[in-house]
Amino acid sequence: MERITIAIDGHSSCGKSTLAKALAKTLGYVYVDSGAMYRAVTLYFIQNEVDIKDAEAVKLALLDIDITFKNIAGKNTTFLNNTNVEDKIRSMEVSEFVSPVATISIVRTKVVKEQRDLGKEKGIVMDGRDIGTVVFKDAELKIFLTASPDIRTQRRYDELIAKGQKVTMKEVKDNLLRRDHIDSTRADSPLKKAADAIEIDNSNLTEANQLEKALALVKAKTLQL
- For ligand DC, the binding residue among 40, 128, 147, 197 (CB under 6 A) is 128
Per the CB < 8 A criterion, the answer to whether 11 and 62 are in contact is no
Report the alpha-carbon distance of residue 68 to residue 8 in Å, rounded.
Answer: 20
Q: Is 31 in the site for ligand DC (CB under 6 A)?
A: no
> Contact with ligand DC (CB under 6 A): which of 19, 20, 24, 130?
130
* CB burial readout 23-38, b (16+ within 10 A) else e: bbeebebbbbbbbbbb
Strand partners of residue 126: 7, 32
Residue whose CB is less far from ligand DC, 138 or 225: 138
- Asked whether position 10 contacts ligand DC by CB under 6 A, the answer is no
Q: Is 20 in the site for ligand DC (CB under 6 A)?
A: no
**Contact assessment for residue 83 and residue 67, using Cβ atoms and an 8 Å cutoff:** no
Say whether residue 5 binds ligand DC (CB under 6 A): no
Question: Shortest approach of ligand DC to residue 212 CB, angstroms?
Answer: 23
Q: Does 35 bind ligand DC (CB under 6 A)?
A: yes
Total site size for ligand DC, rule CB under 6 A: 14
Starting at the earlier edge strand, list the strands of the sheet with 198-201.
30-33, 124-128, 5-10, 141-146, 198-201
x/- map, 163-202, ligand DC, by CB under 6 A: ----------------x---x-------------------
Name the amino acid, one letter, at 169.
Answer: M
* Interaction between residue 98 and ligand DC (CB under 6 A): yes
Residue 34 in contact with ligand DC, rule: CB under 6 A: yes
From the CB of 41, what's the least distance to ligand DC, in Å?
A: 9
DSSP labels for 186-215? -SSS-----TTPEEEE-TT--HHHHHHHHH
User: Is-contact 150 71, C-beta < 8 A?
Assistant: no
Q: Is 99 in the site for ligand DC (CB under 6 A)?
A: yes
Binding site for ligand DC (CB under 6 A): 12, 34-35, 38-39, 98-99, 102, 128-131, 179, 183
